[in-house]
Chains A and B, each alone.
Chain A
Amino acid sequence: MSRILGAPGRAWLRWVDRIGRRESGEALALFRIGSGAAVVASVLSVVMAGLVRPIWIDAAHGGILPLTGGWLVQALGGATPSVVWGLVVVTLLAGVTLTLGIAGRVSALVAAQGMLALTSLDTDTRCSYDPLLVNSLWLLVLADSTATLSVQCRRRHGRWMDARLVAAWPRYLIIVQLVVLYTATGLHKISLSWTPGGGFSALYYILQQPSWQHGDMTWLAHVYPVTQVGTAVTWIWELTWPLVLLALYVRSTAERGGRARRWFDRLRLRTVYAVIGLGIHLTIPLVMVVGPFSLVTLAYYPCLFRAEELRAMGRGCARRWPWRRGGG
Chain B
Amino acid sequence: MRAVLVAAHLLAVIVLAIPDAGGVALRRDAWANPTVQAELEGWAERLTSWGMPIETPELEQRVYEIAQSWTQALHTLRTPLRPYRDVFGVRQTWRMFVAPHRHPGRLHIDIERDGQWRAIQIARSDQHDWRAPQLDHVRMRAMLFRYGWKRYRRRYDALTRWIATKAAQDFPEASRVRVRLFVYQTPSPSQVREGWEPEGRFSQVVTHRLEDFR
A and B bound? Answer: yes
Task: Count B-side interface residues using an 8 Å CB cutoff.
Answer: 64
A-B contact list, 24 entries, CB within 8 Å: A15-B7, A49-B137, A51-B139, A59-B158, A64-B162, A112-B89, A113-B89, A124-B142, A124-B147, A134-B89, A134-B91, A135-B90, A176-B13, A190-B98, A191-B39, A192-B39, A192-B46, A193-B99, A197-B42, A215-B124, A218-B187, A221-B189, A289-B138, A290-B138
A-side interface residues toward B, CB under 8 Å? 12, 15-16, 19-20, 45-46, 48-51, 54-55, 59, 63-65, 70, 112-113, 115-116, 122, 124-128, 131, 134-135, 137-138, 169, 172-173, 176-177, 180-181, 183-185, 187-194, 197-198, 201-202, 204-206, 208-216, 218, 220-222, 224, 289-291
Tell me which of B43, B88, B133, B158 has the highest count of chain A C-beta atoms within 10 A of its own C-beta: B88
Q: Is the CB of B18 within 8 A of A184?
A: yes
A64 pairs with B88, CB closer than 8 A: no
* Bitwise interface map of B from 67 to 108 toward A, beta carbon under 8 Å scored 1, else 0: 000000000000000000010111111111111111010110
**Chain A residues, Cβ within 8 Å of B152:** 124
Q: Is B140 an interface residue (CB 8 A)?
A: yes
A205 touches B102 (CB 8 A): yes
Q: With A and B bound together, what is the CA distance between A202 and B96 in angstroms?
A: 12
B42 touches A192 (CB 8 A): yes
For B90, what are the chain A residues with a Cβ–Cβ distance below 8 Å? 134-135, 138
In whole Å, how far is A199's beta carbon from the nearest beta carbon of chain B? 10
Q: Which of B43, B97, B98, B134 has the most CB of A within 10 A?
A: B97
* Contact residues in A for B91 (Cβ distance below 8 Å): 131, 134-135
Inter-chain pairs besides A50-B133, A135-B92, 5 sampled, C-beta below 8 Å: A19-B3, A20-B2, A54-B162, A64-B159, A210-B124
Contact B142 A169 (CB under 8 A): no
Question: Would you give the 0/1 interface string for B34-59, flagging 1 where the beta carbon is closer than 8 Å to chain A?
Answer: 00000100110010000000000000
